[in-house]
Structure 1
Amino acid sequence: MRVAARALARAGLVHAYGHCSTRLDAGHFLVCAAKPMALIMPDDEGVIVPVHGELPDGVLGEVRIHQHIYREQPDAAAVVRSMPPTVMSLSAARRTPRRLHGMGAYFTDPVPLWDDPQLIRTEAQAAAVARTMDGGNAVVMRGNGLVIAAPSLEQAVVLTWYMEDAARTDWQLRAAGLEAQAAVLSAQEARARAVGTGRIYERMWDYLTDGDPELSQITKQDAQ
């Protein structure tokens, strides 16, 4: 999880704010340390949080979103709450990235929008954000970032990058005055394109985590 947190930071998908978690079992998950993700060190162990119950001391209030997603989606094994810059810009205009290219094929069209810029600090807000995902893998929060749920932490990190790439493509077409000409992928095209074979997720994970000192150490130990 520390490697994932630092990868998100290096890719510019989080800054001072953002967090990620991975499910441990049906009733618990591990969330990263409550600090800027680029500053998470090898000795930052994170905190175990119950899926049902109060947040432990020192855990950020918006981790309630993770709790409610894990309750709503039993198959979700990881959650990333991030601040991708282009996703943020589109969301301020109540827009979410359209499904225009390969990376966008992994999401519904439209991507659900939580139309409220306030921080998520209450149980009611967190439950509503999770419901807005409607069992999917993403929800954009207006002026407040992105939440991704996935079957693994690696996939959650990769899908966060994919969403920002989808937003960049959409933004560039709009900026070029080509919004009307943009070819949105049909549901059939998206299903055919959104594959996981050919080490799709693994290659992007390798790219995003390349050079991480802790991961490099683990690789050396495995080789010995």
Structure 2
Amino acid sequence: MSKTSLEQTQRRVRTAARALARGGLVHAYGHCSARLDRDSFVVCAARPMGTIAIGEDGTVVPVNGALPEGVLGEVRIHQQIYARRPQVGAVCRIMPPQTGLLALLRRTPRPRHGFGAYFAPGPALWDDPRLLRDDAAAARLAETLGGGNALVMRANGAVVVGASLIEAVALSWFLEEAARVEVGLMQMGQDGDHTLLSADETTARQVVAGRVYERMWEYLTDGDPEAESV
């Protein structure tokens, strides 16, 4: 790993952290990371993500092994996901409000519009409100996520993964928008199967061409001094 590669990853991690805060997807709590290589990743500084300063580096964490001093205990979730899924390049641990509201009912968004289609048939549910502060629990969560791109935690936010931070951040916003639609339909009493996309419609809306993820990244990072063109 080159010094340039590490510096670029650090910059993108802190840009992503501020983007998630700007999008209302985290508050005092939450964290994000990006893979450096097979054996390590960078996690953002352990403080409110919107307050991470320009040039403030995160911590390099091993995929296997003890967490470095000062790293949040739930970063074990990142370790367990990276260890199981070599294609995952980024993890976002977020606190989206509408998604969290649904989770209290043990529900996750279903594919009812374009953004919801990306999680079809729906994000996994982790039905345990406790913080994940040990390796065994983090491993079970990673197993529950399986090959999906999002997992909703009852009374405890959500985890979203992607091949890159650009994808993971965009999918984080998509998840909360899908939850907003789900909650709105529930309020109208229209959350039955009649408002679901069909299988063909769902597949047709799972589009990534046309810079779908990149445009959301640009929207959420607009005005950030460290945001680069993608």
Cα deviation for residue 136 of structure 1 reads 1.1
In the alignment, is the contact (CA less than 8 A) between 2:88 and 2:162 conserved in 1?
yes
Q: Is the 8 A contact 2:124 2:152 kept in 1?
A: yes
CA contact (8 A) 1:96 1:112 kept: yes
Correspondence for 2:135: 123
1:57 corresponds to: 69
Looking at structure 1, the residues matched to 113 and 63 of structure 2 have their Cα atoms a distance apart, in angstroms, of 35
Report the counterpart of residue 3 of structure 2 in structure 1: none
Say if 1:140 and 1:204 are closer, same or farther in 2 by CA, change over 3 A: same
TM-score of the pair, normalised by structure 1 = 0.94
Q: Which amino acid aligns with 1:207?
A: Y
Taking every aligned residue pair, what percent have the same amino acid on both sides?
57
Query: Which one of 152, 159, 175 corresponds to residue 171 of structure 2?
Result: 159
Q: Report the alpha carbon displacement of residue 180 of structure 1 after superposing the two structures with TM.
A: 2.4
The DSSP-based 3-state class of the residue aligned with 1:62 is: helix
Quick check: 2:21–2:50 contact (8 Å CA) kept in 1?
A: yes
TM-score (norm 2): 0.91
Q: Could you say what secondary structure the match of 1:147 adopts?
A: strand
Look up the match of 1:207: 219
Please state whether the residue corresponding to 2:133 is helix, strand or coil.
Answer: coil
Farther off after superposition, 149-158 or 105-114? 105-114
Q: Which residue of 2 aligns with 1:141?
A: 153
Measured against aligned partners, the alpha-carbon deviations of 1:79-111 in whole angstroms (never above 9, x if no partner) come to: 000000000000011010111100011113132
Q: Distance in 1 between matches of 2:86 and 2:56?
A: 27
Alignment partner of 1:34 is 2:46? yes
Shift of 1:214: 2.3
Q: Is the 8 Å Cα contact of residues 8 and 157 (structure 1) preserved in structure 2? A: yes
Change (3 A) 1:188 1:77: same
The partner residue of 1:78 within 70, 90, 107 is 90
Residue identity opposite 1:211 in structure 2: G
Q: Deviation at 1:202?
A: 1.1
Residue number in structure 2 paired with 1:95: 107
- What amino acid sits opposite 1:68 in the alignment? Q
Q: Give 5+ residue unaligned stretches, structure 2.
A: 1-12
Verify: 1:110 aligned to 2:111, yes or no: no
Contact 2:45 2:52 in 1 (8 A): yes
Point out the more displaced range, 173-182 or 18-27. Answer: 173-182
Match of 1:17 in 2: 29
* Aligned partners of 1:100 and 1:182 also within 8 Å: no
Structure 1 segments, 4+ long, off by >3 Å, are none
